């Protein structure tokens, strides 16, 4: 029997999201078994917290039974035809950055981004409307999803690889502002806890 190395919280949640996107999961016990089959062992309490943090809900699946789903995931149970409907926000003048990034509250997708950015964002570089973000290995797709669900009006979308996220800014020259805002968000926890980077 070989030893299993511990998985990070972000990695574990990415595995949960992948399972929920591909399999109809009816219970936490069933999800724990699927994770365990893949080498990830979790307690019921940890799994419950992960599902809560991921925003998982129970919806009626294709089979007619209640299943866990991540709302808004294109193609998943409960998703709208064609994927996630775009968030409609009033357009701002190009130079108006006063409300960007949007304020984060104690709950919601903006708060999730504020919570995971310090753990996952290693670096950010921009060119025109493109931003390249570096993350730990295996975390890029999860981080891209968190950014997408934060629904920042200045971000058109993301593409996540293994350790790299490509962020496309809405404005032709908006990449630098997006990169700077994400870096400020990632540094916020270190500043608040008294650590300097």
Span 19-36, average pLDDT: 89
Residue 52: per-residue pLDDT: 85
State the first-to-last Cα distance of the chain, in angstroms, to the nearest integer: 41
> Cα–Cα distance between 20 and 130 in angstroms, integer?
30
Q: Select the more confidently predicted residue: 77 or 21.
A: 21
**C-alpha distances in angstroms, 190 versus 76, 101, 123, 186?**
36, 18, 15, 8
DSSP secondary structure string for all residues of 67-88: EEE-TT-TTSTTPPTTSSPPPP
Q: What are residue 126's DSSP bridge partners?
A: 131
> Cα–Cα distance between 147 and 124 in angstroms, integer?
14
3-class DSSP state for residue 196? coil
- Sorted by where each starts, the structural domains of the chain and their CATH numbers stand as 9-69 (1.10.10.10), 109-192 (3.30.1360.40)
> Cα–Cα distance between 197 and 185 in angstroms, integer?
13
Q: What is the pLDDT of residues 130-173, one digit of tens each?
A: 999 998 888 888 888 889 888 888 999 999 988 899 999 999 99
Is residue 49 within 8 A of residue 12, CB to CB? The reply is no
Q: Select the more confidently predicted residue: 104 or 38.
A: 38
Residue 70: per-residue pLDDT: 78
> Cα–Cα distance between 173 and 130 in angstroms, integer?
9
Is residue 114 within 8 A of residue 143, CB to CB? The reply is no
Q: What is the pLDDT of residues 38-89, one digit of tens each?
A: 888 999 999 999 998 888 888 776 677 888 887 654 444 444 333 333 333 3
pTM: predicted TM-score of the whole model, two decimal places: 0.48
Long-range contacts at 111-116 (CB < 8 A, ≥ 24 apart): 112/53, 112/146, 112/149, 112/150, 113/146, 113/147, 113/149, 113/150, 113/185, 114/185, 114/188, 114/189, 116/10, 116/142, 116/143, 116/146
3-class DSSP state for residue 103? coil
């Amino acid at each position: 029997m070989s030893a299993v190395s511990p998985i990070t919280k972000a990695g574990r949640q990415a595995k949960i999201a992948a399972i929920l996107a591909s399999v109809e999961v009816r219970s936490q016990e069933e999800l724990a078994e699927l994770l365990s089959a893949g080498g990830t062992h979790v307690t019921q309490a940890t799994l419950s917290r992960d599902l809560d943090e991921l925003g998982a809900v129970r919806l009626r699946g294709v089979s007619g039974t209640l299943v866990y789903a991540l709302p808004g995931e294109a193609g998943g149970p409960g998703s709208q035809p064609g994927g996630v409907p775009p968030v409609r926000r009033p357009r701002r003048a190009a130079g108006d950055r006063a409300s960007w990034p949007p304020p984060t509250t104690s709950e919601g997708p903006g708060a999730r981004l504020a919570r995971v950015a310090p753990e996952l964002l290693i670096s950010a570089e921009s060119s025109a409307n493109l931003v390249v973000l570096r993350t730990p290995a295996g975390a890029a797709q999860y981080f891209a999803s968190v950014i997408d669900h934060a629904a920042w009006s200045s971000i058109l979308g993301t593409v996540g690889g293994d350790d790299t996220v490509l962020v496309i800014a809405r404005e032709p020259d908006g990449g630098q502002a997006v990169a700077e805002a994400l870096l400020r968000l990632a540094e916020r926890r270190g500043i608040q806890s008294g650590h300097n980077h």
